[in-house]
């Protein structure tokens, strides 16, 4: 067992080396004139074993939700196919893990998180009684790809909206190729013939998608080679990983837990006991529809008289677009004035029926972090909230939690920015509490 780092000089040297390795890995994201790299800490984010148990319980329950919602959609959902999902959660002040949303249905930032954890594992020893149960996102993806029917030559296709992540996907392509899965990042022409889809490397057997279901089936301006990809998919000339999933693309699915019109459906999916348990863990969520005011504790609350009131503004609510990535478009009552909150509610209700999701704000625990700043290690104030991003792969009906990383940020968004601190998660065994 390596000796735990304690002195300031060692912590500083480790933080500087982590930073240098991440820049060398070339997985920073953002425009060329402002490549983003988060604040570096020379410490892991530690969760207790009971917190990890809660994360596992959610990870094992959510595929039931995913299959139940997808099976009722118009798409040809096959629950036996391997797929990928992520969910974001925070830790409430009482210690409970509270899921906030499905982050997305497609892989993103896996190479970034892998590179970050690899640097920590090389440089920071784990004290006795701590363990890392996560095998890593790309390792998990590789194992899952091995179970796909057609995983010969793989092409990663990135939509225009995610061009900032091209470095990350390029690294993913290189790593998967080294692991025995020939993978290219599509940056040239695609051609479609009667016998398959081709690029300059030859026939493509599987599309590893960074694009969403809506990109492929509706919003063509966001996806290069839109028509060719759609025809190849509809003609069954290529497989797509992860398979298209209406449930995982829509942040509004969590509202189903609370909206009375879905009660019978969800009882059939979960049973009453699990449904009751999920409602205790998930924050109150509702689709922002002007004609369907929220029902809370059996009583309907008016959008105008209640949700635009000072009471609701102070209680804390969040409005977020149903289909967006990260914190894009979010309106948080506790961040803004009451008049601006009212304007936000009006905008969410007029943008289109159910275009936004209303969610009760979660009062999360606050943390400090030791971070690298101006050539020194400094301790932040204890004003950082945490977003735990949980990456899961499902294959053969079994769920594998491949990665959990922690993003610590000031304010109420707890999403990644240059001022955030990105830390790999490790677990402290219960017997050492």
Q: Percentage helix, strand, coil, to 5, in the chain?
A: 35, 25, 35
Position 9 scores a pLDDT of 67
d(CA 29, CA 73): 34
Q: Is the dihedral of CA 432, 391, 333, 311 positive or negative?
A: negative
Position 2 scores a pLDDT of 41
d(CA 278, CA 268): 14
Angle (nearest 5°) at CA 348 between 344 and 351: 130
CA distance to 105, 248, 294, 416, per residue, from 325 (Å): 10, 12, 24, 11
Position 1 scores a pLDDT of 34
CB 61 within 8 A of CB 274: yes
Query: Residue 392 has which token pair?
Result: 């899961």
Position 96 scores a pLDDT of 93
Q: Give the bridge partners for 152, in sequence order.
A: none
The CATH number fitting domain 284-361, selected from 1.10.150, 1.10.287, 3.40.50, 3.30.1490? 3.30.1490
pLDDT by 10-residue block (mean), the chain, 433 residues: 56 94 84 83 96 94 83 72 90 92 78 94 92 95 86 88 88 94 86 90 91 76 84 90 79 86 86 86 91 91 95 93 73 93 94 82 93 93 93 90 94 68 95 58
Closest to 72 measured CA to CA, from 234, 245, 288, 273: 245
Domain ranges of the chain: 151-237, 284-361
* Distant-in-sequence contacts of 230-238, Cβ < 8 A, 24+ apart: 231/192, 232/192, 232/196, 232/197, 232/207, 233/207, 237/192, 237/195, 237/196, 237/197, 238/150, 238/196, 238/197, 238/204, 238/205, 238/206, 238/207
């Amino acid at each position: 067992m390596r000796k735990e780092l304690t002195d300031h000089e060692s912590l500083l040297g480790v933080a500087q080396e982590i930073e240098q390795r991440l820049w060398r890995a070339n997985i920073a994201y953002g425009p060329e004139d402002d490549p983003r790299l988060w604040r570096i800490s020379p410490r892991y984010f530690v969760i207790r074993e009971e917190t990890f148990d809660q994360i596992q319980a959610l990870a094992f329950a959510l595929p039931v939700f995913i299959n139940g919602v997808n099976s009722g959609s118009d798409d040809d959902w096959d629950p036996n196919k391997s797929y990928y999902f992520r969910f974001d959660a925070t830790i409430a002040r009482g210690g409970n893990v509270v899921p906030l949303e499905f982050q997305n249905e497609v892989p993103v930032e896996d190479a970034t998180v892998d590179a970050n954890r690899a640097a920590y594992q090389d440089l920071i020893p784990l004290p006795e009684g701590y363990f890392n149960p996560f095998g890593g996102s790309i390792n998990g993806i590789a194992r899952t790809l091995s179970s796909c029917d057609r995983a010969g030559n793989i092409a990663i296709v990135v939509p225009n909206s995610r061009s900032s992540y091209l470095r990350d996907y390029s690294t993913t392509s290189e790593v998967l190729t080294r692991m025995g899965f020939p993978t290219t990042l599509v940056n040239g022409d695609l051609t479609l013939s009667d016998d398959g889809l081709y690029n300059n490397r030859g026939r493509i057997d599987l599309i590893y998608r960074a694009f969403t279901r809506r990109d492929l089936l509706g919003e063509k301006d966001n996806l290069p080679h839109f028509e060719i990809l759609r025809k190849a998919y509809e003609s069954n000339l290529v497989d797509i990983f992860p398979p298209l999933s209406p449930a995982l693309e829509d942040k509004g699915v969590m509202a189903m837990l609370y909206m009375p019109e879905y009660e019978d459906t969800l009882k059939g999916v979960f049973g009453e006991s699990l449904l009751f348990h999920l409602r205790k863990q998930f924050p109150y969520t509702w689709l922002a529809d002007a004609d369907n005011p929220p029902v809370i504790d059996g009583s309907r609350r008016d959008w105008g008289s209640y949700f635009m009131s000072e009471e609701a503004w102070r209680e804390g609510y969040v409005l977020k677009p149903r289909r967006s990535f990260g914190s894009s478009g979010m309106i948080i009552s506790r961040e803004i004035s009451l008049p601006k909150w009212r304007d936000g509610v009006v905008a969410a209700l007029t943008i289109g029926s159910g275009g936004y999701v209303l969610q009760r704000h979660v009062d999360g625990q606050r943390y400090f972090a030791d971070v690298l700043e101006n050539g020194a290690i400094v301790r932040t104030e204890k004003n950082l909230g945490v977003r735990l991003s949980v990456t899961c792969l499902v294959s053969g009906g079994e769920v594998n939690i491949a990665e959990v990383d922690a993003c610590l940020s000031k304010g109420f968004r707890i999403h990644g920015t240059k001022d955030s601190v990105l830390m790999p998660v490790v677990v402290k065994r219960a017997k050492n509490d």
